[in-house]
Amino acid sequence: MAEAINFKKLFEPRSIAVVGVSSDITKGASGFLNSLITLGFPGAIYPVNNKLNEVLGLETYPSVSSIPHPVDYAIIGVPAAAVPGVVDDCACKGVPFVQIFTSGFEELGTAEGTALQQRIKEKGKGRTRIIGPNCMGIYHPNARIGFEPEQSVRPGDVGFISQSGGLAMNFVDRSVSEKIFVSKLISIGNACDLCLTDFLNYFRQDPETQVIGTYLEGLQQNEHRKFFFLARAVTQTKPLVMWKPGYTEAGARAARSHTGSMVGTYRIWRSMSTQTGIIMVQSMEELVDVISIYVRSPLPKGLQVSIVAYGGGANVTATDACTSQGLKLPILEPEIQQKMLAFIPEAGTFRGNPVDVTGWVTSPRIAGGVSLLAACDPQIHALIFILDIDFIFKQCNRLNLDQERLLGGHSKSLLRIKEETGKPVVCVLQKTGDVLALEDARLKAKNRFLDIGIPCFPDIARAAKALVHLNAYRLYRDHSRFKPLETAGSRIA
Amino acid sequence: MAEAINFKKLFEPRSIAVVGVSSDITKGASGFLNSLITLGFPGAIYPVNNKLNEVLGLETYPSVSSIPHPVDYAIIGVPAAAVPGVVDDCACKGVPFVQIFTSGFEELGTAEGTALQQRIKEKGKGRTRIIGPNCMGIYHPNARIGFEPEQSVRPGDVGFISQSGGLAMNFVDRSVSEKIFVSKLISIGNACDLCLTDFLNYFRQDPETQVIGTYLEGLQQNEHRKFFFLARAVTQTKPLVMWKPGYTEAGARAARSHTGSMVGTYRIWRSMSTQTGIIMVQSMEELVDVISIYVRSPLPKGLQVSIVAYGGGANVTATDACTSQGLKLPILEPEIQQKMLAFIPEAGTFRGNPVDVTGWVTSPRIAGGVSLLAACDPQIHALIFILDIDFIFKQCNRLNLDQERLLGGHSKSLLRIKEETGKPVVCVLQKTGDVLALEDARLKAKNRFLDIGIPCFPDIARAAKALVHLNAYRLYRDHSRFKPLETAGSRIA
């Protein structure tokens, strides 16, 4: 495996030039400038514009080469036709890394666009490394570098590589609300020079990064073989979760016009994932769910789960949702079911699996006691505990119960089960009414569970899917016989 | 087709007896009593208990037969062993309809449970009609009858029949937040006497009911043939949307222990749906989504849609989500694409389909103008407009835009497109950050769109699925060649 490129000056630059700033801080290069200032980037920032003297209180320079200090990283937001000249100027100045925000290159699908991209590539070759064009560059909270002024500066251990700038922004927002935080993120856009494998190889060795996510429309032409062996090496120690769009014909067409990517046959990608241990997902939610469960759970030893919930119909439909994702619900051992009768009565409840604790779900002691018994069954590899937010909310109002205390009790008992059994324990916080008061209750509960290390999902199907992915990854690591989750995509393309 | 049973005394009773009340209004029969009082039921209410003199300010009676007035409907919540006696008492009194809330009958899977259910059936036979046991009875907002004190009394045009009491409650909550309202709802539980087909036949002729939903674990043994012909008759004029669980082996097992239902092979059910025009769904969300789009949209003439949205990656993944549900995205006609250039520039945007209006999504005039052009393309049968709540929220804050005005502008332009083209126009309000401020913004926008008749969905897959169902129903009605949506369930069982 090749040594990773030394990205120190990219991720920890002493100085950044922002080329093409204007007085409108909401647009283009000025948006980057505003973000760096707002996030508190501690190094030097040099705005470049040949008409203005000052932007956002900073002295501007007419060109990068006219900056009388070293520049480690340049962000370029000038119109497409002017980009080759700026890259050349950066190269002359000795800037090691440039990022091109500007679009209007190969993604246009025109001869002109392709030629222009080729020109910037040639301008940089051997002199300065290029990220993009048509991208948002890097987000590195630890260095206070980002591309939106609202981005979090809390560092984490999740690396992310995205071919879409918009989805890179979405990932940052989403990860913050799931309380999983980013080590470093790179939006690579058209990837004319630095590409997925360069950053993947870096993440493989980066001690800050424990799990890697990626949104990838397509690899570069010469990158496939390298990617295959690199992915195999990465997944030995860190999960690689990949959202690969374009699994339908129309989606593939849309990808071509977005980043000029040839997406390849989805079937080939699935086959590659089997051989490399990559976890393939099909949405932002699924991607974040897998990362959230991985960072908070031991790897499950199999697919057999127990569900503990309230309500007959809810349990029937939860069982369908679980098993259609590939999980199994063995009937709990008779002595386990017998022991549950110390907590719940025989009539009205059900103890076989799924376990219906009925209205006792409002008692953390009872629901927790039953759940621990279910999780202790040697057949069971993971526990799924379902809380119906609508019911909890109504019952707390009707019976004047302290909702915070109730949820605190549940979170503690689930943590205890996780610790005592060493098995994954997940919580489904589902709600039916689509109203703000319930969402407020759900979010408060969710944050409480996430804070103590219990992964949370808004519905059973997503919890089940995340567990299936986690088990597939465990299987690959244990035996190198990875069984990817069968999803809709495999039936298409 | 048989005449429907006359349910006038059930749905518009002059008086209701509630049997088995206690002083704890949160439990059992007293919960029903509390709900009737809270919802403002205008008729007489007679609590029955042979120990108390008064409950919730109402005089109690020792038995139903001791009530010195006619009783149209009795709700029974006494322990299981006492139920046959109460049914007998009601029959002697001449009560035409009783509902048994109590559980502990056939759903136990024991000989005793089955025998007890048989006994209540015999007690009622030819004398009083029974709903249940193991059910919540009826919800009829127009008559102010319900089983939860928080239920809405706003009448609507959606009929619902549920074998699960919990999911019946969920349906009421959900329908209110989707602004589709219930005409009448019946929770039938074990359905030992009155069963699905009785109420379906009633809904077929009920002028209050325009669309029918059902959660059904299994039919009664002698009910299948009747159901088949009835469903065929119903779907000629009213859509029948059926959530049929137990499509996995474990789910079927769970259903047996819930309502004692034999769920039947899911494949047979799917085949039945093809021949009867039933819309089969697999979750509460899907069920409500289909009803919401039906009541707000013309039937689409086909599966070809145009997507209008912001962001390249978002469009690629939206296209995947749409087409994997069965929709098609034809490339828009060149002259349509050309006309769009009056609104958006050529560089950076994409007009082929999906249409990427980029940051212009914050301009209702521009995004609306482009959307109208897309919807007018004769190839297109429906328009899907995607609003990224995170982006709208951020841009409004950054640029000091009036979010309410922006959303008002979008809702008006979508309504105009729907009216001018006569095609379904749906809005996807998607958000990435799982935080309360965004949910607040989403719900405000959603309510605004729903109020003027634009169906809203939180993600593209759900919007696509609803459109596919609606088109399948249109096909069945037009040609009686119904093509049900292919979902995960059909690959199982």
The predicted structure's pLDDT at residue A265: 72
What phi and psi, each to the nearest 5 degrees, are found at residue A382? -160, 155
Beta bridge partners of A429: A387
For B165, nearest residue in chain A (alpha carbons): A313
pLDDT (mean) for B394-413: 92
Distance from CA of B246 to the nearest CA of A (A): 6
- Is A110 at the interface with chain B, CB within 8 A? no
Q: Which of B148, B390, B434 sits opposite A178 (nearest CB)?
A: B434
- Topology of domain B299-458, per CATH? Rossmann fold (3.40.50)
| Residue B399: CB atoms within 10 Å | 12
d(CA A245, CA A255): 8
Supply the angle between the helices B364-376 and B403-421 in degrees, to the nearest 10.
20
Q: Which residue has the higher pLDDT, A348 or B241?
A: B241
Those residues whose C-beta lies under 8 Å from the C-beta of residue B39, and which sit 6 or more positions away, are B144, B145, B146, B149, B151, B153
In chain A, residues with a C-beta closer than 8 Å to the C-beta of B317 are 167, 243, 245, 251, 283-284
Residue A264 confidence (pLDDT): 65
What phi, psi does A172 have (nearest 5°)? -60, -45
**Does A233 reach chain B within 8 Å, measured CB to CB?**
no
pLDDT of A238 reads: 96
Residue B40 — left, alpha, or beta (φ > 0 → left; ψ -120 to 50 → alpha)? Answer: left
Mean pLDDT on B107-117: 92
- pLDDT at residue A405, as a whole number: 93
Q: Which of A164, A328, A443 sits opposite B312 (nearest CB)?
A: A164
pTM of model > 0.95 = no
Chain B: give the shortest CA distance to residue A255, in Å: 6
For residues A64 and B110, the model is more confident at A64
* Residues B327/B306, Cβ–Cβ less than 8 Å: no
A250:B328 CB<8 A: yes
Placement of tokens 């948006």 in the chain: A31
pLDDT at B488 over 60: no
The whole-number pLDDT of residue A263 equals 61
Q: Alpha-carbon distance B181 to B142, whole Å?
A: 11
Closest residue in B to A325 (Cα) is B488
Proportion of chain A above pLDDT 70, given as a percent = 96
- pLDDT (average), residues B391-400: 89
Residue A315 touches partner B, C-beta closer than 8 Å: yes
Using a CB-CB cut-off of 8 Å, the residues of chain A touching B106 are none
Fill in the amino acid letter for B56: L
B259 with A321: Cβ contact below 8 A? no
Confidence at residue A25, expressed as pLDDT on a 0 to 100 scale: 82
Tell me: the pLDDT tens digits for A436-464? 999 999 999 999 999 999 999 999 999 99
How many Å apart are CA B1 and CA B237, to the nearest integer?
15
Q: Classify burial at B152, counting beta carbons within 10 Å of its beta carbon; exposed 0-12, middle 13-18, buried 19 or more.
A: middle
Give the mean pLDDT of chain B: 92
CA atoms of A483 and B303, how far apart (whole Å): 34
Mean pLDDT (whole number) for A325-344: 95
User: Number of A:B CB contacts under 8 A?
Assistant: 217
End-to-end CA distance of chain A: 32
Whether the link from the prior residue into A133 is cis, omega within 30° of 0, is yes
Question: What would the 3-class secondary structure string for chain B be?
Answer: CCCCCCCHHHHCCCEEEEECCCCCCCCHHHHHHHHHHHHCCCCEEEEECCCCCEECCEECECCCCCCCCCCCEEEECCCHHHHHHHHHHHHHHCCCEEEECCCCCHHHCCHHHHHHHHHHHHHHCCCCEEECCCCCEEEEHHHCECCCCCCCCCCCCEEEEECCHHHHHHHHHHHHHCCCCEEEEEECCCCCCCCHHHHHHHHHHCCCCCEEEEECCCCCCCCHHHHHHHHHHHCCCCCEEEECCCCCHHHHHHHHHHHCCCCCCHHHHHHHHHHHCCEEECCHHHHHHHHHHHHHCCCCCCCEEEEEECCHHHHHHHHHHHHHCCCECCCCCHHHHHHHCCCCCCCCCECCCCEECHHHHHCHHHHHHHHHHHHHCCCCCEEEEEEEHHHHHHHHHHHCCCHHHHHHHHHHHHHHHHHHHCCCEEEEEECCCCCHHHHHHHHHHHHHHHHCCCCEECCHHHHHHHHHHHHHHHHHHHHCCCCCCCCHHHHCC
Q: Where are the domains of chain A?
A: 8-215, 299-458
Question: How far is C-alpha A228 from the chain's CA centre?
Answer: 21
Are B247 and A284 within 8 A, CB to CB? no
pLDDT at A317 over 90: no
- Say yes or no to pLDDT of A273 above 90: no
Q: Is the pLDDT of residue B492 over 60?
A: no
What the block records as the tokens of B268 is 């047979």
Give the C-alpha separation, B307 to A458, whole Å. Answer: 27
Evaluate the CA torsion angle B449, B453, B454, B456 in order and state its sign.
positive
Q: Is B424 left (phi over 0), alpha (psi -120 to 50) or beta?
A: beta
ipTM: 0.88
**A446 in helix, strand or coil?**
helix
- Does the distance separating the beta carbons of A215 and B313 come in below 8 Å? yes
User: Considering only alpha carbons, which residue of chain A is nearest residue B347?
Assistant: A104
Lowest mean pLDDT among A439-453, B15-29, B62-76: B15-29
pLDDT at B274 over 80: yes
Residues of chain B in contact with residue A243, where contact means CB-CB under 8 angstroms, are: 317
Contacts of A414 (CB under 8 A, 6+ apart): A368, A371, A383, A385, A425, A427, A449, A454
Radius of gyration of chain A (CA): 25
Instruction: Measure in Å the smallest separation between the Cα of A104 and chain B Cα atoms.
Output: 6
Nearest to A387 by CA among A309, A318, A465: A309
Instruction: Output the average pLDDT for chain A.
Output: 92
Of residues A28, A26, A66, the one with CA closest to residue A46: A66
One fold for both B8-215 and B299-458?
yes
Q: Closest Cα partner for A475 from A464, A484, A462? A: A484
State which amino acid sits at residue A116.
Answer: L
Residues of chain B with pLDDT > 90, as a percent, come to 77
**Any A CB within 8 A of B163 CB:** yes
Edge-to-edge strand list for the sheet holding B158-162:
B137-139, B182-187, B158-162, B211-215, B240-243, B279-281
| pLDDT at residue number A1 | 62
Q: How far is CA B479 from CA A117, A389, A459, B275, B473, in A?
A: 53, 43, 37, 11, 10
- B432 with A168: CB under 8 angstroms? no
**Percent of chain B beyond pLDDT 70?**
96
The set of residues, in sequence order, having a beta carbon less than 8 Å from that of B112 and lying 6+ positions away, is none
B8-215 architecture in CATH?
A: 3-Layer(aba) Sandwich (3.40)
CB contact at 8 A, A212 and A182: no
Burial B429-449 (b: 16+ CB within 10 A, else e): bbbbbbbeebbebbbbbbebb
Q: In this predicted structure, what is the pLDDT of residue A179? A: 96
Q: What is the pLDDT of residue A489?
A: 38
From first CA to last CA, the distance across chain B in angstroms is 32
- The nearest alpha carbon in chain B to A330 belongs to B250
CA dist A252 and A271 (Å) reads 18
